[in-house]
Structure formats: C-alpha cells, structure tokens
C-alpha cells in the first residue's frame, strides 16, 4: 500500500486534527467527519506515492476530504434516505404473492417487455445510477422528457409485475421466497 517517501504515522500525527476539523465543518456530524477523515488517510496510504511534493500532503488531504464530501452529498441527493415511518404512506402496496414470485430475473424480464421508448431511461436510472440530467445528455433529449419517460416506464413496469404477466422464468432461475408468518 504505502511505499512513498512519506512516513504515514508522522503525517497522521501532524495533520489528523486539522483534517478532522475541516471534515467536521463540512459534514456537521462527528460520525460523518470521522468517515471522511478515515477515507482521506486511507487514500493517502493507498495513493500517497503519487504525491510529488511532500510539502503538499496537507492540501492533498483537504482536497481529498472535500471531494469525498461532495461525492457523498451527490449520492445522497440522488438516493435520499428517509425515516421509514415518514415514508410509509408513500410506499406502494405489494401483495404477498407478488413478493414470493419476484426476483431479479423477473424484474429484468419485465424491463425487457416495457416499450422501447421507456427502456433506456429506466435502465440508465435504475441499473446504471445516472441522474436525470446525465440521462438527458446521454440520450440527447430534454430533462422533462426523461422525467416523463421514467414516470410512464415505472408505471408500465409496475403493471407488468403486478399483473403476473411474467409467468415464464429462464431455466434455473430461482424464486425469492420469504417464510410465511404462520402462528
């Protein structure tokens, strides 16, 4: 891992407090600041040999913390977390028999049966984790069209999965089953 001219222990001793305070100013929670700080020093241990001017280690660490913070914030914006109790009214109602027969292969089979115009935005959003803006750029269509196609495509996908239109499974595909709650 670390095989540069830097003594990692000395770098941690010299800069840990400053890096942690910077991370705390960005993240505003101690646990997130600890994660950011740990990530920065792990990357230093992994990629420290790439630093040409050892006097710039502190700024390299600050840049790494800042970039990781921005990366996590973008990820959280794309995939926000919400308290389950708060989100419960918005969750779809899924019938128990649907859960027993739904698996990854069935979901991909349903996606392949969605109309061609809806398939690329759905695949880019759910399988490749692209944002609306990125999908619009990739497909060369306005962002409003992306949003519309995702909405209609999700509705069609839900309809296919709910109606039981996918009876045939590929050979060897297993069904995800959950134990019943028998008393």
* 109-130 pLDDT tens trace: 888 899 999 999 998 998 888 9
- In a domain, residue 171? The reply is no
Cα 63 from Cα 123, distance rounded (Å): 33
The C-alpha angle with vertex 54 and arms to 48 and 59, in degrees rounded to 5, equals 80
Cα 44 from Cα 12, distance rounded (Å): 10
Could you tell me if 119 and 151 lie in one domain? yes
> pLDDT at position 170, please?
45
> pLDDT at position 178, please?
36
- In a domain, residue 98? The reply is yes
Cα 43 from Cα 134, distance rounded (Å): 28
> pLDDT at position 129, please?
86
- In a domain, residue 168? The reply is no
Residue 95: partners with Cβ closer than 8 Å, 6 or more residues away: 162
Could you tell me if 101 and 157 lie in one domain? yes
For position 30, which CATH number holds?
Answer: 1.10.1740
Q: Per-residue pLDDT tens for 144-169? A: 999 999 999 999 988 887 776 544 44
> pLDDT at position 127, please?
83
Provide the residue range defining the domain that includes 63: 8-78
- In a domain, residue 30? The reply is yes
| Cβ atoms of residues 178 and 100 within 8 Å | yes
Domain boundary among 37, 53, 78: 78
Could you tell me if 97 and 154 lie in one domain? yes
> pLDDT at position 180, please?
40
Mean pLDDT of all residues in the chain? 83
Counting as low any pLDDT under 50, the low residues of the chain are: 1-3, 166-183
What is the maximum span of the chain, computed from C-alpha positions, in angstroms? Answer: 68
Domain boundary among 47, 78, 109: 78
């Amino acid at each position: 891992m670390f095989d540069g001219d830097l003594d990692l222990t000395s770098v941690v001793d010299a800069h840990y407090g400053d890096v942690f305070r910077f991370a705390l100013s960005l993240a505003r929670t101690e646990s997130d600041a600890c994660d950011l700080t740990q990530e920065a020093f792990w990357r230093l241990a992994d990629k420290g040999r790439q630093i040409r001017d050892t006097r710039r280690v502190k700024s390299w660490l600050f840049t790494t913390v800042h970039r990781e913070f921005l990366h996590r914030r973008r990820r959280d914006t794309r995939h926000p977390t919400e308290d389950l109790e708060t989100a419960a009214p918005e969750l779809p109602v899924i019938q128990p028999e649907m859960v027993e027969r739904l698996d990854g292969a069935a979901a991909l089979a349903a996606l392949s049966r969605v109309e061609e115009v809806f398939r690329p935005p759905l695949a880019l959003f759910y399988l490749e984790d692209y944002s609306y803006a990125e999908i619009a750029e990739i497909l060369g269509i306005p962002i409003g069209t992306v949003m519309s196609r995702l909405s209609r495509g999700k509705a069609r996908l839900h309809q296919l999965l709910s109606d039981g239109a996918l009876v045939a499974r590929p050979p060897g595909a297993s069904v995800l089953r959950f134990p019943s709650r028998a008393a």
